[in-house]
Amino acid sequence: MALEQADVQRAAHLARLGLNEGDAARYVDDLNRILAMVDQLQRLDTTDIAPLSHPLDATQRLRADEVTESDQRDHFQRCAPAVENGLYLVPRVVE
Amino acid sequence: MQWETVIGLEVHVQLATQSKIFSGASTAFGAEPNTQACAVDLGLPGVLPVLNEAAVAMAVQFGLAIHAEIPEVSIFDRKNYFYPDLPKGYQTSQMYHPIVGPGVVEISLDDGDTKRVRVHHAHLEEDAGKSLHEDFHGMTGVDLNRAGTPLLEIVSEPDMRSAKEAAAYLKAIHSIVTYLGISDGNMAEGSMRCDVNVSVRPQGQEAFGTRAEIKNVNSFRFVERAIAFEVERQIELLEDGGEVIQETRLFDPERDETRSMRTKEQANDYRYFPCPDLLPVVLDRAYVDHLRETLPELPADKRARFQNELGLSAYDASVLSATREMADYFEAVKDACGDAKQAANWVQGELSGALNREGLAIQDSPVSARQLGELIGRVIDDTINGKAAKQVFQALWHGEGENADAVIEAKGLKQVTDTAAIDAMIDRVIADSPAQVAQYRDAEPEKRGKMIGYFVGQVMKASRGTANPQQVNALLKEKLDALC
């Protein structure tokens, strides 16, 4: 399946990336080359091979359910562009 | 045309952990904004999530409670979308390998019947923060305290056929999670939230109709109302030759309607992929077996035991097993008085009435289970009659006396069973009521039964309610009939 410019624009929108026409055309080529490589991989017989969700041959460590973090709001909010009453302020979003 | 409603529910349950699913920040409700949002919850660069063992254990306990398969391996995926209350730009969730596989929930219906609703799966994920759209100079305020709170999303099969069944299913889930103690189940505080998938199809048709997903349905009552509105809307649309479109709708409890909502992301293109920051979660059998052993008696089992072993009706058993607090209270009353039926009547009658009037939960009852059990014991052993028992209950409710015996003593409510004393009162009442005695004598014998009520009332009044009514009745009949 080859991508077209509209697919790339759509993916860019979903990822909130701004692309100009020239960028988009270049990405169509790049991404299609990547997909061609995937197509090549797809030709391998993977019957009886479990899907790999993580490259490390390890399992998730679990932590005990304890509160270990203290309030560092002032520290974190120093790098926020706008705060008020302890809230982070962002451009208005309404559903 | 006859239409059939088809309903599936997605229930989000906040798990009652102390800390978040991937960080050590507190999950306590009601803190100052952003004081419980740490670097991991904020999605700052360079942080790594570490999974909370208690969240895993709670999810598995739920799975065991609904007789679900617990797969050995489960995997976290990223669900990508942009919204300010989701600082990472993705929600860590489980798409392809959830922690709980297919299971089944038994629901009880009003007519005492039960029905099995299949659960497709349940998965772990993190909650988002909260956006506040009040006036912040045209901006939106974001509180990320809730971000990262562990959620168990329980996805049912489309097995429900009416709003009532959907509400019963939600109640069953509520009951299971609160029995297990894995959530406080507080819907008002958002600890349990529900999305409803509704469609209609002509009766007898096998294929499902197009469904709408209703969000923001956050009480048992709203589930019924939202479904009732949506079903009517869809049927009307179809009967007018229209088509239902697959969309997300929002329930507005104030206007009692659902309305179309703009979607967060066009066509729900969430681009799931395995989260590289989290390794596969592997649960060994010993761990799962250990959790199975720690499960408490669950609502369905308790209901069955109340019915089969204690001889309660299906209705009583269902009401009394609805919450763990109710069931524990009832059982303590039963143990204290030794009579399950009396205990059931008092808990559902006098006690529930008083609790409802004052808006109290059973665990906050001013009358303890022990006090109520002892009071019932005094009715059973004939120390007091039913009327006096209600007085004792009121006294205990208002803190007038340590226990039933103390109140009975202080108020002189001990039932008079001394025949001589009752005889004397009866003789006085008969002597004081010549007109009524004459009427009684002149009446047809079959009408006399009703007329005796007047005399019983007078004697009870003379005894200030302490005479044994059955005894009064029998003695009166004897004495009056002797006059005829």
Looking at residue A33, which CATH number applies to its domain?
Answer: 1.10.20
Query: Using only C-alpha atoms, what is the Rg of chain B?
Result: 30
Residue A19 lies in a domain: yes
Tokens for B403, please give them. 């226990």
Count structural domains, chain A: 1
The dotted CATH code for B419-483 is 1.10.10.410
Tokens for B441, please give them. 């004598």
CB contact at 8 A, A19 and A10: no
Other C-beta atoms closer than 10 Å to the C-beta of B453 total 11
pLDDT one digit per residue (tens) for chain B, 484 residues: 899 999 999 999 999 999 999 999 999 998 999 999 999 999 999 999 999 999 999 999 999 999 999 999 999 999 998 889 999 999 999 999 999 999 999 998 877 788 999 999 999 999 999 998 877 888 999 999 999 999 999 999 999 999 999 999 999 999 999 999 999 999 988 999 999 999 999 999 999 999 999 987 888 999 999 999 999 999 999 999 999 988 889 898 888 888 887 554 455 688 999 999 999 999 999 999 999 999 999 998 999 999 999 999 988 998 999 888 999 999 999 999 999 999 999 999 999 999 999 999 999 999 999 999 999 999 999 888 888 899 999 999 999 989 999 999 888 888 777 778 888 888 888 888 888 888 888 888 788 878 888 888 888 888 887 888 888 888 888 888 887 7
Residues 6+ apart with CB under 8 A from B304: B317
Nearest chain B Cα distance for residue A77, angstroms: 9
Between CA B11 and CA B123 the distance in angstroms is 11
Between CA B251 and CA B221 the distance in angstroms is 12
Residue A16 lies in a domain: yes
Nearest chain B Cα distance for residue A68, angstroms: 5
Residue A37 lies in a domain: yes
Tokens for B423, please give them. 């005889």
CB contact at 8 A, B196 and B7: yes
Residue A95 lies in a domain: no
pTM above 0.90, yes or no: no
| Beta strands in B204-362, from DSSP E residues, in sequence order | 212-215, 247-252, 257-260, 273-274, 281-282
Residue A88 lies in a domain: no
Between CA B51 and CA B8 the distance in angstroms is 29
**Facing residue for A53 by CB, picked from B18, B262, B280:** B280
Q: State which residue of chain A sits closest to B26, comparing Cα positions.
A: A67
Classify residue B268 by its DSSP letter.
Answer: G
Q: Cβ-count burial of B71 within 10 angstroms (0-12 exposed, 13-18 middle, 19+ buried)? A: middle
Side-chain-side CA neighbours of A67 within 13 Å: the count stands at 13
Residues 6+ apart with CB under 8 A from B329: B347, B362, B363, B365, B369
Q: Which residues on chain B are in Cβ contact (under 8 Å) with A93? A: 83-84, 131, 133, 140
Helix (H, G, I), strand (E, B) or coil at B249: strand
Nearest chain A Cα distance for residue B154, angstroms: 22
Q: Which residues on chain B are in Cβ contact (under 8 Å) with A61? A: 50-51, 279
Q: At what angle do helices B434-442 and B445-462 cross, to 10 degrees?
A: 160
Q: Where in chain B is the domain with CATH 1.10.10.410?
A: 419-483
**Facing residue for A54 by CB, picked from B39, B140, B274:** B274
Q: Which residues on chain A are in Cβ contact (under 8 Å) with B38? A: 69, 72
Q: Which residues on chain A are in Cβ contact (under 8 Å) with B97? A: 53
Residue A69 lies in a domain: no
Classify residue B349 by its DSSP letter.
Answer: I
Q: Which residues on chain A are in Cβ contact (under 8 Å) with B271? A: 14
**Facing residue for A53 by CB, picked from B17, B32, B75:** B75
- The residue among A13, A9, A31, A84 whose CA lies nearest residue B81 is A13
Domain of A16?
A: 5-43
